[in-house]
Structure 1
Amino acid sequence: MNSRFFIYPYCEAGGKRTFSDEQIRGLYRRMVEDGTAGLVFMGSGIDGEDAFLAVMQSPGTHPYVLFVQGLPAGIVWLNRIQYRWAQMHFCTFREVWGRTAVELGRHVNRTLLEMRDSRGRYCLDMLVGILPARNRLAVSYVRKCFGRITGELPRGVYNPQTGQSEKAYIITLTREGIRNESD
């Protein structure tokens, strides 16, 4: 276990949310300040703090706030969970970009793929992401965090700035892939 990194779920526990609405809106503001919101939410309809909050609180969305040495460092959320895989979305904040973001990403991916249910079974066997092919930094980052490009979608993401759909990569992460890379 890496004590530098902490993954905290955003959920309702005992009738109370683990983070306030304002704290979650603040995560979106950080993405805007860092210049990442446009790429993270390209064509998704998430265009402001309230829309982001609504998605994070929607049934079927499982967000996790990421911390490095006690400070907010990003957010990951899972949705479209089916069978034993989920679609994964992520964003790290500027302060941790570089080596720390890669270490954090690897830690998050291991943690999510190692989660077990009450009977000891793995919850997920695979994480799937769809990234705009033109976002080379994100593609490079995900590959460093054990992701594999396993396919292309010729018109996989919509770019509202150009009014055109663009090529996207399908990225997958598996426990076996993480173990092979870690060895």
Structure 2
Amino acid sequence: MTHFAILYLPCQQPHVVGILRAVYDKICTECLRDRLFYDGSARSCDAFLDEMLRPGCLPFVVMADQEPAAFAWCNHLEIRAARVHFVIFRKFWGRKCRTDMGRRFFRYLLTLRDTDGYLFDCLYGVTPESHPLAWKAALETGWRHVGIIPHFVFLADRQESVGGVITAVNRQALGMAENATGEARWDA
């Protein structure tokens, strides 16, 4: 049995830089960097750290026992909404594992609270139209297809703008009760 845990990586903690470096190495080793950072924004570990440690960025890692299974971050924070970026590492690509992990992670984000209530009522993603495996994986976890914005996404490797597939999710789309709580740990 594998034990999963969602860990928030607060940038003010000194050990977080080491964790983020390890995550970046894994992203590169698994040849995921150019798909995940299609705009060319993280061509080096230093550029990745700059992105993850900037104010308004909320990085998370999903651990499977002692191994990173997925990495995500929220940015472009609005009042109760955020853009989410999510990558699952190759060992965990199986549809059942991928779908369950994604659904649990998004449920968790949608149940985070502060003294004023939920942090997020809506999460959204923007994925290149030319990466259907990525945006279809979001749909499998309960996200909804909102639309496509023509020429919205710049692909640095092709020096071309392509359509951006907009997906979104909220508690209702995931069938969650209004006062639902999310678990940061589970066994599978």
TM-score by length of 1: 0.88
Residue number in structure 2 paired with 1:111: 108
* Structure 1 ranges of 4+ moved more than 6 A: none
Match of 2:93 among 93, 97, 102: 97
CA offset at residue 18 of structure 1? 4.8
| In the alignment, structure 1 residue 42 sits paired with structure 2 residue 41 | no
- Counterpart AA for 1:167: G
| Aligned-residue identity in percent | 27
CA offset at residue 32 of structure 1? 1.5
User: Is the 2:154–2:161 contact (alpha carbons within 8 Å) kept by the matching residues of 1?
Assistant: yes
CA offset at residue 72 of structure 1? 1.0
Q: Distance in 2 between matches of 1:117 and 1:22?
A: 28
CA offset at residue 17 of structure 1? 3.2
User: Is the 1:42–1:159 contact (alpha carbons within 8 Å) kept by the matching residues of 2?
Assistant: yes
Residue number in structure 2 paired with 1:145: 141
- Counterpart AA for 1:5: F
| In the alignment, structure 1 residue 174 sits paired with structure 2 residue 170 | yes
Name the one with the larger helix percent.
Answer: 1
User: Is the 2:145–2:168 contact (alpha carbons within 8 Å) kept by the matching residues of 1?
Assistant: yes
Q: Distance in 1 between matches of 2:11 and 2:35?
A: 28
Residue number in structure 2 paired with 1:9: 8
User: Is the 1:156–1:167 contact (alpha carbons within 8 Å) kept by the matching residues of 2?
Assistant: yes
User: Is the 2:57–2:75 contact (alpha carbons within 8 Å) kept by the matching residues of 1?
Assistant: yes
Q: Distance in 1 between matches of 2:82 and 2:19?
A: 25
Q: Distance in 1 between matches of 2:70 and 2:19?
A: 12
Residue number in structure 1 paired with 2:154: 158
Q: Distance in 2 between matches of 1:105 and 1:69?
A: 17
| In the alignment, structure 1 residue 53 sits paired with structure 2 residue 49 | yes
Q: Distance in 2 between matches of 1:60 and 1:44?
A: 20
C-alpha RMSD over aligned residues = 1.6
Residue number in structure 1 paired with 2:83: 87
TM-score by length of 2: 0.86
Distance 1:125 1:89, change over 3 A: same
Q: How big is each residue's C-alpha offset from its partner over 1:55-88, in whole Å with a ceiling of 9 and x where there is no partner?
A: 1111010001111233211211001111110010
